[in-house]
Amino acid sequence: MLDHATQDVGQACRDLTGGAGVAAAFDNAGGSALDQALDAVAPMGTVVSIGPTPAPVADRLFMKAASLVYHVMGAASMWRLDPHAQGRALAAVAALAAQGHVRPVVSATYPVRDLAQAHHAIASARTVGKIAIRVEDGF
C-alpha cells in the first residue's frame, strides 16, 4: 500500500515497476493526486480522473502519448447513452467484493453523533482508507 501523505506515489510506482510506470492510474481528488497519477503512469498508459484538468496537464500527457479518461457518475444516464451501465459496473464491483477480491481499507468507524469528528479526520488528510459512519447508533 502506498501512502500519498508520506510517499511520492509517482516515484514509488516507478520503483515498483522497474521504472516502467503503471498501465493505469486513478485520480479521485485532483491537484497533487493528479500530478502523482501523471508521474506514475507509463508511456501509452491511462489516467482516469473524476475532476477537471488544468491546462499544463496536456503537455505531460502528450510527451508520454498517454490518455486521460474522465468518469462522471451518472453521465451515461444523463446523456441517455446507456442508463444501466453504472448499475452493471457497480454490480461487477459488488461481486468482486463479495468474492473477497476487492476490499476497502477502513481507517476508522464513527457513530453518526460524532460526524463532525469524522469530518475532521478526513480533512486532516492523515487517514488511510475510508471513514465509516454507523447510523444505527443514533444521534
53 and 84 inside one domain: yes
94 and 109 inside one domain: no
Which whole number is the average pLDDT over 28-43? 83
pTM of the predicted protein model: 0.51
127 and 97 inside one domain: no
User: What does the pLDDT look like over 1-22, one tens digit per residue?
Assistant: 777 778 888 899 999 999 999 9
Domain for residue 3, yes or no?
Answer: no
Q: Residue 14 in contact with residue 20, Cβ under 8 Å?
A: yes
Does the pLDDT at position 139 exceed 70?
no
16: cell is: 515498483
More confident residue, 129 or 72: 129
Domain for residue 2, yes or no?
Answer: no
Mean pLDDT estimate for the chain: 83
92 and 29 inside one domain: yes
92 and 127 inside one domain: no
Q: Return the pLDDT at 57.
A: 78
Does the pLDDT at position 100 exceed 80?
yes
Q: Return the pLDDT at 18.
A: 94
Q: Residue 130 in contact with residue 122, Cβ under 8 Å?
A: no
Does the pLDDT at position 71 exceed 90?
no
Domain of residue 39 covers 9-103
Least confident of 46-50, 58-62, 89-93: 58-62
Q: Where does residue 116 rank: exposed (0-12), middle (13-18), buried (19+ CB within 10 A)?
A: exposed
Does the pLDDT at position 111 exceed 90?
yes
